[in-house]
Amino acid sequence: MGGESNYEIHQNAYIKLILHALKHKTSSVNGVLLGRISGNGDNVEIVESVPLFHSQIGLLLPLEISLMMIEEYYADKGLSIVGYFHANERSDDFEVGNVAKNIGDHIYKYFPQAALLLLDNKKLEALLKEGKDRSPVVQLYTKESSRSWKLAGADASGSLKIKEPSANIVLLDYFSSGKWKDIVDFDDHLDDITKDWLNPELFK
């Protein structure tokens, strides 16, 4: 495959990740991507996402518990963990840090076409102000053909697109209506198990 996978993320999976970051603007947040290989094996379809943490972001035990529960739930739906999402604490920080690399590496062991999505705060801020851009407000990093995570497109390999072209318009609507306040992540669930990490009410 040589680093040439293309990635497509479904609208709801994408929106959930961005709303999670908007809810916890002053913290690092993360999440996992669920999906499957499609086409002739060169395409990774990201169907779902699960917001993970906003406070216990580097702790191993909560991470292991959450990944186990997520894998178990989505296996029945034919989906597996295909990547990782990270938003840095500082809006001017565009580096893939050690926590993101370590969790990305863990997923890569089981899924070599793993995607690592890093929130692009500049693009997100511009979208919230101007509302024009239709491209994803995340950067795609992959590791397929190298030993380290590389920004996709830097060497003409890999690309990320949103399945539904109007996703950013829907995202802006959810932002302005305060939907981001409703996002539940695993931190919330571990504090209060009545809070559902699947966020079933979010898109109703």
pTM to 2 decimals? Answer: 0.93
- CB-based contact 72:64 (threshold 8 Å): no
Strands (E), 39-79: 43-51
pLDDT at 174 over 90: yes
- Dihedral angle computed from the Cα positions of residues 147, 35, 38 and 150, in that order, rounded to the nearest 10 degrees: -20
Task: Decide which of 56 and 198 is more confident.
Answer: 198
For residue 145, what pLDDT is reported?
67
Chain mean position to CA 104: 11
Type of residue at 7 = Y
Residue 154 binned pLDDT confidence (cut-offs 50, 70, 90) = low
- Whether pLDDT at 200 is above 60: yes
Q: For residue 32, what pLDDT band results from cuts at 50, 70 and 90?
A: very high
- Has residue 197 got a pLDDT over 90? yes
DSSP-derived pairing of the beta strands 138-142 and 80-87? unpaired
